[in-house]
Chain A
Amino acid sequence: MNQSYLRSIYLRLAGVVMLVVVLALAASAFLSHRAFEAALAPEMAKKVASGGASARSLVLKAMDNQIAFGEIYGIEQTFDDLKRSIPDIAYVAVTDTTGVVLYQRFTAPAGAPAHFRSPAVLGSLATPDFWPPAVRVGEQYVVSMPIVTRQQPVGMMHIGVSVEFVDRIILDMLLDVVVVLVVALFFTLELLNFMAGSKLETALKSLGETIERGASGDFTPMRARGTAGPFGAVLKLLEDVRERVNTGFATLARDIEQGRRVPAHERPPGLAAAHSGLQALSQRFRFGAADSTTTRDDGQLAKIRAPLFVFILAEELTRPFLPGYIKSLLVPVPGLPWLAPEIVVGLPIALFMLIVALGQPFLGAYAQRVGNRHAMMVGAGVAAFGFVASAIASSVLDLLLWRSMCALGYGLVFVAAQGHVLAHTNNANRARSFALFIGAIMVATVCGPSIGGILADNIGERWTLAIAALLAIGSMGAIRLLPRQDAAATAAQSEIKPPSLREIASLMVNKRFMTVTGLAAIPAKVLLTGVCFYLVPLYVLSLGSTQSMVGRILMIYGVVMVVLMPLAASFATTRERMEWLVGSGLLLSGIGTLLLMFGDHVGWIFAAVFLIGLGQSLSIAAQSALVREHCDSEVTAMGEPAVYGVYRLLERLGNALGPMLAAVLLMAFSYRTGFVAIGGAVALCGVVFILATRRSNAAPALVPV
């Protein structure tokens, strides 16, 4: 009940904020439309006037050749030429000195004849070197230019531009505004959670527990609860009521006890009945001293979400523009002249993934030694330095070094945050705690690429990297709020050790383990990094689109994951379902990229990334759970951390492999072949996975007991 109530509070709070934000964005669009109109209309008028000047000079030339002003042949063709050079032109007309139209082309705005005859317009005939500013006539801005021969004014040329050009500019921004709105929604939820959510949750939980205890007849005082939080007064009153009853019982018990101590003849006649009634009452209700059991504080756990979100957001900002940025820094690699640019572009991305994959055990050990909070601070600091250095990188070679630092910082923050979650969970709430951890990452994948793309387009990649650095530094502020690690937490964490080489080798030749890891986990990651992080950004830019578009496309992946992954996870309740989810997820995501066979429009890429997101959201949660299902005996023999350690290691190596594989395919073939080849291979893995798991289900000997 607490969760659904809390969710309803969140929805109401986020709902009203979103409503106001929508209104604010609409007001902003309206005001900017007015500002654009006021500022750009004169500029547009000057532009069309520049073009009109050459058309006007042709008219004057014709008149120099003794052609009468009203009898110039082919002037409409000149107007056509003018429109070809300035497509914004919606109307061109030439009038005589009284404002009567002699020639015109395209669509006249409503009220044009009256405007042409107005004294204000005709008055400008007297000033041939100066023409009045553009005037809005109907749905057009009209510039009127006097046509004056050496002898006298002969008429005017009027050029109209549709007012819609400002509407088009505002509409161009609409997609970006929608992106801002979506990000604002997630931002609101994250902020609500950070600022008030955990306190509200804790307070509601306390309140619920107090009421529930009282309702079930438990009047023992609870552990010291803070009554300073929200609903503190109600909580205190409830506790007072429970304490009142408890005290009443204690007083009565004491009185009965005192009564029993006096000589029998002095005892009140109802003592025996009261004593047995008290016994019965203590059976029905619970009285006495507070229990000494302690539970972990969920508030400490929730504190990890904000710094993790902000830090991951910093890295996610770079997704849409990183390949393009690397491309802009390309230089021949000394000693390796054969190294193709496609490979070099993929190198920083692959190296990042490789460092994160291979560094996990070492970074985990470091985090255990210095404490999660300290490790996160160091990781965020290192990454912030990496972002700043990446922003001022002069070539791809130094960028490799700086991105490695970002990877080191990312890996350290990731591992330490994971350690924090582990340290503040128990078996009962581990799944929920990791949902909180994954949730922060997923929300960052929705917000980061879209905002990163917009920023990169408008302020440039280097400044966007600087903003990423600021975010990483900002996350350090939130990390400072985390508790220092206590001994119990360290002990809980130290139970997890990195997998040994023997364990890795043993699992890599294990058919059941590799069915999940080799056929599902690695291909899924290759698809993610190879297609989404490498091919999509480069391909979209090669089509002449923008980095904002790349960001929007990558945001689709995040949104689909955020919405569907929990649903798919809740559906994955049996092994058969998990296997179907993994197989069909792989198949679907593979088929997604095959869509690129049908065309090279950005819409196809949107559709492909949507299907990749859909496929991955189906398979990711089930994949991880299937390891346990498929490798029960290995888990018993080696322990769950070792089996999952190897699984994560191989999965992350798939992350590193993706960009390299995509680069090789791009180098050898083309973008679309790269998409289709990777997608086809993943779809094939999906089919083989389904067949392999069907067969193993049919043959009981292969099923772990």
Chain B
Amino acid sequence: MTMAKTKPQLIVVAVLVCLFAVGMAGLLNFFKYRSNAERIIKERLVVTGTSIENSIQSSLALGLQFADLGTLPETLERERATDDLILSIEVFDTEGKPLYSTDRLRASRDVPAAWITAARQAAGKDWFVKQGTDSAAGIAIENNFGLGIGYLALRYSEEQVSNSTMAVARQLALSAFAVFAAAATLASLALVAVMNRLTRDFDAVEAALRARDGSRLSPAAQKGPFGRALRRFFETVRHAESDLAQLRAELHRGAPR
């Protein structure tokens, strides 16, 4: 049956549509997860940073110099230890000169230029830099008069964030693949079932045609799309053949045998 050639094409349609829908949904899921995970992580770093900033503000309110906060290194170290994501916490002035750091190696060199740029662009708001091991969430530090005196940066492990994101991405991809496989199979079967119904209609017509008997059109074929026309078709054929038979009989009437 040549209808069989249509079925693979319908299966391709089912597979492509399911691939598109589940693929798009999978992409949306992944991007939604990533944006939310990053948001939560950034907010978590900012919460920690705000806590340190409050501590700095308390000291400044007591009249201590920003560059001379004796208890700050201990506070920074304590806060860093509370979160394994944080690689180091650094406090630096508006020119990028480090003032305090939990990482001794970094305390002696200027902070990355990207941090200064992001901090200045943020104009007093929280800022974020995504740059490998130099990824950081930052907060502006202002004195009692509202003037910017420096910045606090929480350097975090972008790799750790990426690893956890990739783990979830793998999980989402696996579930998307499973859903896709199930949906594509189900859709293919459903399409083939619809086409089978159509095929049955035409098989009934075919059976009647092979039997050379239009009166044997099944109810399905009679109610089908060409039912009425088919009945007329067979009726006309029957009339024509009957007329031809009559004429032939007439012709042979009394003919020498």
Contacts and interface: CB of A to CB of B under 8 A. Distances in A.
A268 interface: yes
A692 B16 CA distance: 52
Nearest to A87: B43
Contacts of A227: 2
Given A28-B26, A196-B10, A230 B179 contact: no
B254 A270 contact: yes
B241 to A, nearest CB: 6
A578 to B, nearest CB: 35
Contacts of A191: 13, 16-17
B237 A169 contact: no
B193 to A, nearest CB: 8
Interface stretch (A209-217, A289-297, A377-385): A209-217
Contact of B247 (A177, A274, A457): A274
A217 B43 contact: no
B187 to A, nearest CB: 4
B111 to A, nearest CB: 23
Interface in A440-482: 451, 454, 457-459
B229 A208 contact: yes
A571 interface: no
Which one of A16, A242, A269 has the highest number of Cβ atoms from chain B below 10 Å of its Cβ? Answer: A16
A50 B44 CA distance: 6
Contacts, number: 274
A16 B26 CA distance: 21
Contacts of A274: 247-248, 250-251
Given A27-B179, A195-B10, A274-B251, A216 B236 contact: yes
Given A20-B186, A195-B10, A184 B233 contact: no
Interface stretch (A30-38, A112-120, A483-491, A643-651): A30-38
A9 to B, nearest CB: 7
Interface in B17-63: 17-18, 20-22, 24-29, 31-33, 36-37, 40-41, 43-44, 47-48, 50-51, 54
A43 interface: yes
A16 B183 CA distance: 11
A702 interface: no
A235 to B, nearest CB: 9
A577 interface: no
Nearest to B193: A16
B191 A16 contact: yes
A234 B202 contact: yes
Contacts of B212: 241
Given A47-B40, A85-B50, A195 B9 contact: yes
B71 interface: no
B2 A27 contact: no
B84 to A, nearest CB: 9
Contacts of B31: 457-459
Interface string B180-210: 1011001100110111001000100110011
A333 B181 CA distance: 52
Contact of B180 (A24, A217, A228, A459): A24
Contact of B168 (A35, A187, A249, A285): A35
Contacts of A238: 209, 233
Contact of A241 (B54, B183, B237): B237
Interface string A180-193: 11011001100110
B65 interface: no
Interface stretch (B97-105, B143-151, B169-177): B169-177
B232 interface: yes
A20 B40 contact: no
Contacts of B3: 230-231
Nearest to A255: B251
B251 A47 contact: no
B17 A21 contact: yes
B53 to A, nearest CB: 11
A17 B28 contact: no
Contacts of A9: 194, 198
B225 A1 contact: yes
A50 B48 contact: yes
Contacts of A27: 179, 182-183
Given A28-B176, A252-B251, A169 B32 contact: yes
A248 B182 contact: no
Given A249-B244, A270-B250, A5 B17 contact: no
Contacts of B237: 214, 241-242, 245
Nearest to A16: B190
B253 A47 contact: no
Nearest to B187: A20
B51 to A, nearest CB: 4
B129 interface: no
B13 A195 contact: yes
Which one of B195, B235, B236 has the highest number of Cβ atoms from chain A below 10 Å of its Cβ? Answer: B236
Contact of B47 (A50, A219, A233, A271): A50
Contact of A13 (B33, B180, B186, B191): B191
A281 interface: yes
A68 to B, nearest CB: 24
Nearest to A268: B255
Which one of A29, A43, A457 has the highest number of Cβ atoms from chain B below 10 Å of its Cβ? Answer: A43
Contact of B41 (A28, A43, A230, A268): A43
A431 interface: no
B83 A233 contact: no
A176 B32 CA distance: 11
A114 B227 CA distance: 73
A207 interface: yes
B13 A86 contact: no
A567 interface: no
Given A21-B17, A43-B37, A281-B244, A173 B29 contact: yes
Nearest to A39: B168
Contacts of A188: 13, 17
B82 A268 contact: no
Contacts of A249: 240, 244
Given A36-B33, A233-B1, A241-B237, A273 B250 contact: yes
Nearest to B252: A268
A270 B28 contact: no
Contact of A54 (B20, B24, B54): B54
B147 to A, nearest CB: 24
A8 to B, nearest CB: 8
B14 interface: yes
Contacts of B182: 24, 27
Contact of A207 (B1, B226, B250): B226
A12 interface: yes
B95 interface: no
Contact of B243 (A180, A233, A281): A281
B54 A35 contact: no
A199 interface: yes
A259 interface: yes
B240 A208 contact: no
B13 A211 contact: no
B33 A40 contact: yes
Contacts of A457: 31
B121 interface: no
A177 B25 contact: yes
Given A20-B187, A32-B29, A53-B48, 16 more contacts: A13-B194, A21-B18, A32-B172, A35-B172, A43-B44, A54-B51, A173-B29, A180-B25, A180-B28, A183-B24, A187-B17, A188-B17, A215-B235, A241-B209, A241-B237, A252-B247
The 5 A-B pairs of least Cβ separation, nearest first, read A24-B183, A268-B255, A215-B232, A237-B209, A47-B44
5 contacts: A44-B40, A188-B13, A238-B209, A244-B241, A270-B254
Interface of B: 1-3, 5-6, 9-10, 12-14, 16-18, 20-22, 24-29, 31-33, 36-37, 40-41, 43-44, 47-48, 50-51, 54, 82-83, 85, 164, 167-168, 171-172, 175-176, 178-180, 182-183, 186-187, 190-191, 193-195, 198, 202, 205-206, 209-210, 212, 225-226, 229-230, 232-233, 235-237, 240-241, 243-244, 246-256
